[in-house]
Structure 1
């Protein structure tokens, strides 16, 4: 009996040890099954410049490149290029630069695999030819092209500036004749206002981010006149003004003729914005001049007849890195236009063309 008890105890201990061994083995096996996240390796970026030849080492002027990214064990990529961040699931990206001229760009690529990543960068020289991406030459007599222009009408409660005019779409106030657009402000009683004029805009029809916008125009004569050519942020309805941003390329007032104002409005810098400069131009009412702004991620530069007079330093913290639409208008009086000459009857803001370049 004692021997049997001893054997039974020995067998019991053996079973316990086998159970413990198997439990440990199972735990180790489970640990071995845990997936291991590896660092992406062999990250390479191939940059093909469209139209690149021996004679054209920076491309054909289209500004287009094709990226081919490869990496072992990568599941996704992030590309930072020209102040843009682009997320990719594959290693292929077609990209187009739009700033005219020759420029060197840095391309930064990060390959991801879960929480592990690898990084590399390269540089590319690109030539972008200047080309018109939108324009109105005003060569067809009659009403402006409705595929290009819409209108703001009414008083707009003074449009935020205590302006005096009522904006209409009547041919008395806006018409194309002999190759120019003529926006006419008239002293008349109309819908409770004492003056009429026009405000036309490309909202909902055309907007752009970065490039050159220019108008060739003759300015009106008379105290209280206030013609303008400007850009307003496409997100006006969602964020409001001045959060949407405003770029005033041309403003002039009849009470101070031949002085050209260029300004920018943004949060904390609206109303009497400090971001403004003036320059003098000659014979603005009798001769056509070109008023322009060149806009990119680094600067917004303002010109009269290609003479640079104001450079604004842009940055990622401003609203000036999104799409904007174009506005032409002719206001009367208000906070900026000032007192209207009591002898004023009418005046014309004459526009030869509006052009937007890449």
Structure 2
């Protein structure tokens, strides 16, 4: 961060202005009316001794940093492959409602009569609002540490601002198998409360939740929201104060990298699926969720660390990669430019037009530090295979850890389960087998990463 964040706190009393143009839920006013606000703008923040900053976005530019964030452009989520985000929300995210300026990220919600609808979500009907949603999937994914943000949320019935994470394996594990960490959720019926929660899979959806009232309306002023996350516990904080109970866990969903999500939802199942007319956002007005900064700290500067690979994007052909086949079909793997790469021009393909094949394309790595590792790669895949895996193993004859590859029409980030390396050696790559030749079957792979956890 190049500019110095200023410190400002003041206490002011306020009362709600009557909103025109929509039917309000009377219960929405029971706690908001007459509450003071606890303003904290341009917040300074001290993570405490022993915490080192390993990633940040201070929003000092004039546009969203594409190296950090992907901005959604409809109510269909290509990561989770669902409509309205599984919660029945009423908004249609779009890029123009996510802006950066004045040292802040601004997510703007507004009522619309345009009736926007995504063709993949026609069964859900048109949306009544525009808003914004962005995430760091495939760009910023980390495990453990202290994740914090300075956020100003909007007041009003139906506003559902959120700062949260999902497991990086969401595309393969689904929800709630990926795990979810909700650092901030806010509901207008309890405006003084920061709500935090976790969700995971335990024979079905499993949930844990906590919250705290600061004694002042959190809306319309800046506050800091954070989670301190270890392999066994999570502590949530509002403005540096611990939020109620500590969450103690041993779920695998919370022992893997997660990515960040910021969004401003409207309505949805948390509000009991209210009608669009009841949302406190009249036509011609806007409400904003503003973010001054998001920061991720690790103790001692640890966390997920990339290990250098040779030619991970296959831009130099097959340099650095080895091939094994049990039946002499090594030629089924090659670097090519057909349909382009995830990045760069080239990618790895496993394909044979007419003949069956089996190929293991791998890169051996030696001299690795003892610890847990994962392999990640971007994949497109179509057609049927007997075996299609991203995998890793600690010797040529050792059993691998692997992720079975699904069908991906677009480039999709996949990763293996963690593998423990104690002898310094690892083989990582792709194993595919097709018992029948078919020109419609293909696997394209690109941008391979080896991550030490």
TM-score above 0.5: yes
| Residue equivalent to 2:52 | 131
- Calculate the TM-score normalised by the size of structure 1: 0.60
Q: Which deviations, in whole Å up to 9, do the C-alpha atoms of 1:117-137 show, x marking residues without a partner?
A: xxxxxxxxxxx9311111111
Highest CA radius of gyration, 1 or 2? 1
Q: Is the 8 A contact 1:330 1:349 kept in 2?
A: yes
- Pairing 1:355–2:295 present: yes
1:342 CA displacement: 4.8
1:97-121, Cα deviation, whole Å (9 max, x unpaired): xxx99xxxxxxxxxxxxxxxxxxxx
The equivalences for 1:1-358 within 5 A come to: 129-141=50-62, 143-156=63-76, 157-170=83-96, 173-190=97-114, 191=116, 192-268=126-202, 274-281=207-214, 282-309=216-243, 310-315=245-250, 317-338=251-272, 339=274, 341-345=278-282, 346-358=286-298
Q: Aligned in 2, Cα 1:197/1:293: closer, same or farther, shift over 3 Å?
A: same
The 10-residue stretch of structure 1 (281-290 or 212-221) with the greater mean CA deviation from structure 2 = 281-290
Give ranges in structure 1 of 5+ residues lacking alignment.
1-99, 102-127
Supply the distance in 1 between the matched residues of 2:134 and 2:190 (Cα, whole angstroms). Answer: 24
Instruction: Output one character per residue of 1:15-51: Cα deviation in whole Å (capped at 9) or x when no partner.
Output: xxxxxxxxxxxxxxxxxxxxxxxxxxxxxxxxxxxxx
Question: Does the CA contact (< 8 Å) of 1:182 and 1:351 recur in 2?
Answer: yes
Q: Identify if the C-alpha distance between structure 1 residues 222 and 154 changes in structure 2 by more than 3 Å, giving closer, same or farther.
A: same
**Deviation at residue 189 of structure 1 after TM alignment:** 2.7
Which residue matches 2:338? none
Query: What do residues 167-204 of structure 1 show as CA deviations (whole Å, max 9, x unaligned)?
Result: 1111xx11112111110111113413110111100111
Aligned equivalents of 2:255 and 2:270: distance in 1? 27
Q: Is the 8 A contact 2:200 2:207 kept in 1?
A: no
* CA distance in structure 2 between the partners assigned to 1:278 and 1:139 by the alignment: 31
Classify 1:238/1:347 alpha carbon distance in 2 versus 1 (closer, same or farther; 3 Å). same
- CA distance in 2 between counterparts of 1:270 and 1:152 reads 28
How large is the RMSD of aligned CA atoms in angstroms?
Answer: 2.0
Number of residue equivalences: 228
Question: 1:288: how far off?
Answer: 1.2
SS at match of 1:204: coil
Secondary structure, counterpart of 2:51 in structure 1:
coil
Q: In 2 relative to 1, CA 237–178 (structure 1 residues): closer, same or farther, beyond 3 Å?
A: same
Per-residue deviation at 1:344?
Answer: 1.5
